[in-house]
Structure 1
Amino acid sequence: MHSVEEACDVLLVDDSADALALLSLELGAVGLQVHTAASGELALAYLAKHLPGAILLDVQMPGMDGFETCERIRDQSEDVPVIFMTGLGETEHIVRGFAVGGNDYVTKPVSPPEVIARLQAHTRTARLVRATREAVNASSNAMLAVDETSQLLWCNDAARQLLSALEPGLNLNEGLRMPPHLAGLLTGLGEQTSTSLSLLNGALQARRVSESAQAITVFTLTAAGTGSSKRAAAELTARESEVLLWVARGKTNRDIGEILGMSPRTVNKHLEHIFEKLGVETRTAAASAAARALGRE
């Protein structure tokens, strides 16, 4: 059996001592660092101290089953890939597993080569998602996204700081509607790409960097008169804006593909275009290049 391409530590959760021992041996033989937990409760106790690169989670366990364990895991991290281990033909388990935040599944008896391949694919995607979200949040460009009802979908730190400076006490809770005066500014552009609004401590300029007439709209914000970043000039397509939204909310390529009805490969292509439009010059190691480029400009 070939060694894994990238180092990764895995948390293996199963109430069967034999299954834990056998799979630990197989995964360890190819260079993976394996930690084990015999119950959902023990898995959560481990996660409170250490976040692994991926989790292999048995569905049927006494006490806290795999589904409840996964839901609790998602309370702690949206990024770590969770791969369920389930019996053959248990379609309802597969569907429920995705519903509670699982990324993938393998059927028992598990095939170690298949498990290793899926682990590598999901950990690579998770690293890319984390780096991309961190790059957006660390960017000196103030950015936010709203839907067609003026609900704030996400807002990076630079946008929060800018808006707080221009109007202290402004309510910026993700998942809630924007204040009426800001909602009117952001949703009333029509075919225009930018507009401005007077706030308590100055004027705000908003520039749409996604296409008009779409459900999700991404904006860059500046204090009027300070100029816009050169990266705002390149408009994102509707699909790119949607992908950026879900990346910022911690979804993996597979999750985004399922939400938007496209393949993970297509999602990755959209991410490449997003990096390019945001000013990333190095296409290899795209996530780290994006983080460096967005963080320093």
Structure 2
Amino acid sequence: MMDFPPVPARDARLVLIVDDVPDNLAMLHDALDAAGYMVLVATNGEAALACAAQALPDIVLLDAMMPGMDGFEVTRRLKADARTAPIPIIFMTGLTETEHLIAALAAGGVDYVTKPIKPAEVLARMGVHLGTARRARAQQQQAVQARSALDAFGHASLTVRIADGRVLWQTPLARELLRRHFGIDGLRAVLPADVLAWVQRQQATLALHAEPPRWTLDQGQGSLVLRLHPPSPEADEGELLLVMREESDLAVRETLRQGFGITGKEAEVLYWLAQGKINRDIADIVSCSPATVKKHLERIYAKLGVETRTAAAAMAMARLPA
């Protein structure tokens, strides 16, 4: 297996140049190095695929015509791998016929430069595509983080395909709720027929709703509330975001436990405190002594950074779903 230089910190701009002509590699390497880029090189398609998979460069400059595996095939393979698919690829080609340029873009390239290579032109085009790719990655990361953060508040989100109800993406809590309430598990699972029918009915009028359409299902283990949202920016056409929330005492206590980083028993005590119960009542409910409840409350106050039961109850109420 080939050895490649260590992967730099992700704030560095890492470029992979692929060309079977050493003079081309040397010229571009020197120009990019002088411009502040970190540069990797490969002289054939197989080496390019291995290097890209290991180093995950920010951008690839790829010769279209090489012996063996050409640049078109290299691009198709990079785009078929989820890890390397987002990397922008700029073709370097001496071919100016329209059919070749169309083939480069069809394979997955974002741009092309013609030979003989002009370093200033390459740098300018790279700057544009690096900025676009960086913004796209940031938006996607923010969207994933925002949806995953819903788990801490007892909300579970998943992306579904409207046509057949197939689950394309889900948070950990969504996976658990699907398994518990519907007996389905894993990515590529399909929503139950009645849920899919509701999604399809609501999808046609989604833009007309002032609030996300809501459906409450009584599953015998507490109610499961479904809310349908427009697709996130990175979702493909024909997909919708479905947010689920379990409405039960158990789910609420789990929300408190995750949200405040407290133990399960502390979450139970805090839940009943938020319901206005006094220590004696809480002790009866959770089957312990009032003194034990007091000790739990002392630890809860310390973890929440408050000094009174009123402040703790207020924080709990603010965290709980309406």
Shared fold (TM-score greater than 0.5)? yes
Is 1:145 aligned with 2:165? no
Which stretch of structure 1 is more off in the superposition, 127-136 or 47-56? 127-136
Determine the structure 1 residue equivalent to 2:108: 101
- Displacement of 1:165 after TM fit? 5.0
C-alpha change, 1:90 and 1:202, in structure 2 (3 Å) is farther
Aligned to 2:216: 196
Q: Is 1:209 matched with 2:229?
A: yes
Cα deviation, residue 73, structure 1: 1.6
* Separation in structure 2 between the aligned mates of residue 165 and residue 8 of structure 1, nearest angstrom: 42
CA distance in 2, matches of 1:164, 1:69: 39
Alignment partners' CA distance in 1, 2:220 and 2:197: 16
CA distance 1:170–1:33, shift in 2 (3 Å): same
Residue correspondence of structure 1 range 40-189 to structure 2 within 5 A = 40-74=45-79, 75=81, 76-138=83-145, 139-141=148-150, 142-152=156-166, 154-158=168-172, 160-167=174-181, 169-174=183-188, 177-189=190-202
Q: Relative to structure 2, which stretch is displaced further, 112-121 or 202-211?
A: 202-211
Given the superposition, is the C-alpha separation of residues 143 and 122 from structure 1 closer, same or farther in structure 2, using an over 3 Å criterion?
farther
The structural deviation recorded for 1:115 is: 1.4
Amino acid corresponding to residue 209 of structure 1 in structure 2: H
Which residue, out of 246, 250, 254, partners 1:223?
A: 246
Letter in 2 for 1:26: A
Query: Which residue matches 2:40?
Result: 35
Q: Would you say the 8 A contact 2:179–2:185 is kept in 1?
A: no
Contact 1:10 1:32 in 2 (8 A): yes
Provide the C-alpha distance between the structure 1 equivalents of 2:157 and 2:191, rounded to a whole number of angstroms. Answer: 14
CA distance in 2: counterparts of 1:153 and 1:108, whole angstroms = 46
- Aligned equivalents of 2:133, 2:229: Cα separation in 1: 26
Superimposed CA distance per residue, residues 165-189 of structure 1 (whole angstroms, 9 cap, x where no aligned partner): 5337414534x75342331232233
- Partner Cα distance (2:61, 2:127) in 1: 12
Question: For the residues of structure 2 that align with 1:118 and 1:153, how far apart are their CA atoms?
Answer: 37
| Seq. identity, % | 36
Contact 2:16 2:39 in 1 (8 A): yes
Measure, in 2, the Cα distance between the counterparts of 1:20 and 1:126: 24
Other-structure match for 2:320: none
Residue 47 and residue 183 in structure 1: after superposition, are their counterparts in 2 closer, same or farther (change >3 A)?
A: same
The offset of 1:120, in angstroms, is: 2.0
Check the 8 A contact 1:171/1:178 in 2, yes or no.
no
More helix by share: 2
Amino acid at match of 1:123: L
Rounded to whole Å, the distance in 2 between the matches of 1:37 and 1:165 is: 46
Deviation at residue 23 of structure 1 after TM alignment: 1.2
1:18 is matched with: 23
Counterpart contact for 1:83–1:104, Cα < 8 Å? yes
Return the alpha-carbon distance in structure 1 between the equivalents of residues 173 and 18 of structure 2: 40
Q: TM-score, normalised by structure 1?
A: 0.64
- In the alignment, which residue of structure 2 is the partner of 1:242? none
Give the deviation of 1:215 after TM superposition: 4.3
Structure 1 residues 105 and 26, CA gap change in structure 2 (3 angstroms): same
2:95–2:101 contact (8 Å) kept in structure 1 = no
TM-aligned CA distance change 1:137 to 1:28, over 3 Å: same
Is the 1:84–1:106 contact (alpha carbons within 8 Å) kept by the matching residues of 2?
yes
Please list the CA deviations of residues 227-285 of structure 1 after superposition, one character each: whole Å capped at 9, or x if unmatched.
9xxxxxxxxxxxxxxxxxxxxxxxxxxxxxxxxxxxxxxxxxxxxxxxxxxxxxxxxxx
SS of residue in 2 equivalent to 1:48: helix
Q: Distance in 2 between matches of 1:205 and 1:16?
A: 61
Checking the alignment, whether the CA contact within 8 Å between 2:228 and 2:243 is kept in structure 1 is yes
Q: Match for 1:219: what amino acid?
A: L
Number of positions where the alignment pairs a residue of Structure 1 with one of Structure 2: 219
Letter in 2 for 1:183: L
Question: Which sections of structure 1, spanning at least 5 residues, go unmatched?
Answer: 1-5, 228-297
Report the Cα distance in structure 1 between the residues aligned to 2:98 and 2:186, rounded to whole angstroms.
Answer: 40
3-state SS of 1:79 partner: coil
Q: Where in structure 2 are there 5+ consecutive unaligned residues?
A: 1-10, 151-155, 232-236, 253-322
